[in-house]
Structure 1
Amino acid sequence: MTSVPVDTEYDENQIQVLEGLEAVRKRPGMYIGSTSSRGLHHLVYEIVDNAIDEALAGYCTRIEVVIEKDNSITVTDNGRGIPVGIHPKEGVPAVELVFTKLHAGGKFGGGGYKVSGGLHGVGASVVNALSEFLEVEIANGEHIYYQRYERGNRCSELQQIGDTAKTGTRVHFKPDGQIFEDLVYQFDTLLLRLREQAFLNAGIRIVLKDDRDDAPENHKEVDLRYEGGIKEFVQYENRNKEPLHPDVIYVNAVRENCEAEVAMQYNDGYSENIISFANNISTTEGGTHETGFKAALTKVINDYARKYGFLKENDDNLKGEDVREGLTAIISVKVTEAQFEGQTKTKLGNSEMRSMVEKMVNEKLGEFFEENPSVAKIVVDKAMTASRAREAARRARENTRRKSALESSTLPGKLADCSDRDNTYTEIYIVEGDSAGGSAKMGRDRRFQAILPLWGKMLNVEKARIDRVYGNDKLMPVITALGAGIGDEFDVSKIRYGKVVIMADADVDGAHIRTLMLTFFFRFMRPLIEEGHVYIAQPPLYKVSRGKLEKYVYSDDELKQVLSNEFADGKPPAIQRYKGLGEMNPEQLWETTMNPETRIMLQVNLEDARQADETFTILMGDKVEPRRKFIEDYSSTVVNLDI
Structure 2
Amino acid sequence: MQSSTYTASNIKVLKGLEAVRKRPAMYIGGTSERGLHHLVYEVIDNSIDEALAGYCDEIICTITTEGNIRVEDNGRGIPVDIQKDMGVPAVQVVLTVLHAGGKFDDKSYKVAGGLHGVGVSVVNALSEFLEVNIFKDGKEYFMRFERGLPVTELQVLGDTNKTGTVVTFRPDPLIFETTEFSFDYLTSRLRELAFLNSGLRIILKDERSGRVHDFKYEGGIKSFVEYLNQNKKPLFPNPIYISSVKEGMEFEVALQYNEGYQENIFSFANNINTTEGGTHLSGFKSGLTRAVNTYIKNADLLKNEKVSPSGEDIREGLTAVISLKIANPQFEGQTKTKLQNSEVEGIVNSAVYEKLMEYFEEHPAEAKNITMKSILAARSREAARKARELTRRKTVLESGSLPGKLADCTLSDPEKTELFLVEGDSAGGSAKQGRDRSFQAILPLWGKMLNTEKARVDKVLNNDKIQPIILALGAGIGQEFDISKLRYHKIIIMADADVDGSHIATLLMTFFYRYMRPVIEEGKLYIAMPPLFQVRKGKQKVYVYNEEERDKAIREFGEKGVLVQRYKGLGEMNAEQLWETTLDPKNRKMIAIKMDDAIEADRMFTILMGDEVEPRREFIQENARYVKNLDV
Q: What's the TM-score bracket when you normalise by the shorter of the two chains?
A: over 0.9
- Tell me the equivalent position of 1:165: 161
Amino acid at match of 2:339: L
Q: Select the residue among 366, 385, 395 that pairs with 2:386.
A: 395
- Tell me the equivalent position of 2:203: 207
C-alpha change, 1:389 and 1:338, in structure 2 (3 Å) is same
Q: 1:294 aligned to 2:285? A: yes
Q: 1:616 aligned to 2:605? A: yes
- Quick check: 457-466 or 179-188, which moved more? 179-188
- Quick check: 19-28 or 119-128, which moved more? 119-128
Q: 1:155 aligned to 2:146? A: no
Distance of 1:498 and 1:340 partners within structure 2: 30
Question: Deviation of residue 437 (structure 1)?
Answer: 0.7
- Tell me the equivalent position of 2:113: 117
Distance of 1:330 and 1:641 partners within structure 2: 36
- Please show how residues 9-88 of structure 1 align to structure 2 within 5 Å: 9-88=5-84
Amino acid at match of 2:62: V
- Tell me the equivalent position of 2:406: 415
Amino acid at match of 1:609: A
Distance of 1:285 and 1:120 partners within structure 2: 19
- Deviations along 1:463-488, one digit per CA (max 9) or x if unpaired, are 00110111211111111111111111
**What RMSD, in angstroms, separates the aligned Cα atoms of the two structures?**
1.6
Cα pair 2:144 2:151 within 8 Å, conserved: yes
Q: Select the residue among 479, 487, 504 that pairs with 1:496.
A: 487
- Deviations along 1:306-349, one digit per CA (max 9) or x if unpaired, are 00011239854411111111111111111111112111111111
Cα pair 1:482 1:497 within 8 Å, conserved: yes
- Tell me the equivalent position of 2:258: 267
C-alpha change, 1:122 and 1:632, in structure 2 (3 Å) is farther
C-alpha change, 1:641 and 1:320, in structure 2 (3 Å) is farther
- Deviations along 1:330-388, one digit per CA (max 9) or x if unpaired, are 11111111112111111111111111111110111111001111000000011111111
Distance of 2:501 and 2:233 partners within structure 1: 29
Cα pair 1:512 1:641 within 8 Å, conserved: no
Amino acid at match of 1:23: A
Cα pair 2:9 2:83 within 8 Å, conserved: yes
- Quick check: 292-301 or 486-495, which moved more? 486-495
Q: 1:138 aligned to 2:134? A: yes
- Deviations along 1:215-250, one digit per CA (max 9) or x if unpaired, are 2x6xx2211111111111111111111111011101
- Deviations along 1:55-101, one digit per CA (max 9) or x if unpaired, are 11110011101011122100000000000000011100000001001
Q: 1:277 aligned to 2:268? A: yes
Question: Deviation of residue 268 (structure 1)?
Answer: 0.9
Q: Select the residue among 565, 571, 577 that pairs with 1:576.
A: 565
Question: Deviation of residue 116 (structure 1)?
Answer: 1.1
Count residues in correspondence: 632
Cα pair 2:387 2:458 within 8 Å, conserved: yes
- Quick check: 171-180 or 399-408, which moved more? 399-408
Distance of 1:314 and 1:436 partners within structure 2: 48
Distance of 1:102 and 1:88 partners within structure 2: 17
Q: What TM-score, normalized by structure 1, do the two folds share?
A: 0.96
- Tell me the equivalent position of 2:593: 604
Q: 1:181 aligned to 2:177? A: yes
Cα pair 2:226 2:239 within 8 Å, conserved: yes
Distance of 1:400 and 1:515 partners within structure 2: 25
- Deviations along 1:542-561, one digit per CA (max 9) or x if unpaired, are 00011111111122232233
Distance of 2:631 and 2:254 partners within structure 1: 35
Distance of 1:377 and 1:90 partners within structure 2: 63
Distance of 1:605 and 1:433 partners within structure 2: 26
Q: What TM-score, normalized by structure 2, do the two folds share?
A: 0.97
Q: 1:560 aligned to 2:519? A: no
Distance of 2:34 and 2:510 partners within structure 1: 22
SS in 2 for 1:470: helix
Distance of 1:198 and 1:609 partners within structure 2: 17
- Quick check: 459-468 or 315-324, which moved more? 315-324
- Tell me the equivalent position of 2:465: 474
Identity percentage over the alignment?
61
Question: Deviation of residue 605 (structure 1)?
Answer: 2.1
- Tell me the equivalent position of 2:309: 318
Cα pair 1:119 1:338 within 8 Å, conserved: no
Question: Deviation of residue 122 (structure 1)?
Answer: 2.9
Q: Select the residue among 377, 380, 386 that pairs with 2:371.
A: 380
SS in 2 for 1:348: coil
SS in 2 for 1:607: coil
Distance of 2:469 and 2:305 partners within structure 1: 38
- Tell me the equivalent position of 1:89: 85
Q: 1:513 aligned to 2:504? A: yes
Q: Select the residue among 511, 524, 527 that pairs with 1:536.
A: 527
Amino acid at match of 1:327: L
Amino acid at match of 2:403: P
Distance of 2:567 and 2:539 partners within structure 1: 19
Cα pair 2:135 2:162 within 8 Å, conserved: yes
- Quick check: 405-414 or 238-247, which moved more? 405-414
- Please show how residues 97-112 of structure 1 align to structure 2 within 5 Å: 97-109=93-105, 111-112=107-108
SS in 2 for 1:184: coil
Q: Select the residue among 618, 625, 631 that pairs with 1:636.
A: 625
C-alpha change, 1:642 and 1:489, in structure 2 (3 Å) is farther
Distance of 2:71 and 2:77 partners within structure 1: 13
C-alpha change, 1:221 and 1:284, in structure 2 (3 Å) is same
Amino acid at match of 1:225: K
Cα pair 2:36 2:176 within 8 Å, conserved: yes
Gaps of 5+ in 2: none
Question: Deviation of residue 640 (structure 1)?
Answer: 8.5
- Quick check: 104-113 or 239-248, which moved more? 104-113
Distance of 1:641 and 1:542 partners within structure 2: 14
- Quick check: 344-353 or 555-564, which moved more? 555-564
Q: 1:434 aligned to 2:425? A: yes
Distance of 1:317 and 1:351 partners within structure 2: 29
SS in 2 for 1:341: coil
Cα pair 1:426 1:498 within 8 Å, conserved: yes
Q: Select the residue among 236, 243, 250 that pairs with 1:252.
A: 243
Distance of 2:291 and 2:376 partners within structure 1: 17
Amino acid at match of 1:114: K
Question: Deviation of residue 119 (structure 1)?
Answer: 6.0
C-alpha change, 1:602 and 1:570, in structure 2 (3 Å) is closer
Question: Deviation of residue 31 (structure 1)?
Answer: 0.5
Cα pair 1:512 1:642 within 8 Å, conserved: no
Q: 1:229 aligned to 2:225? A: no
C-alpha change, 1:578 and 1:544, in structure 2 (3 Å) is same
Cα pair 1:121 1:345 within 8 Å, conserved: no
Distance of 2:538 and 2:43 partners within structure 1: 59
Cα pair 1:121 1:344 within 8 Å, conserved: no
Q: Select the residue among 4, 7, 29 that pairs with 1:8.
A: 4
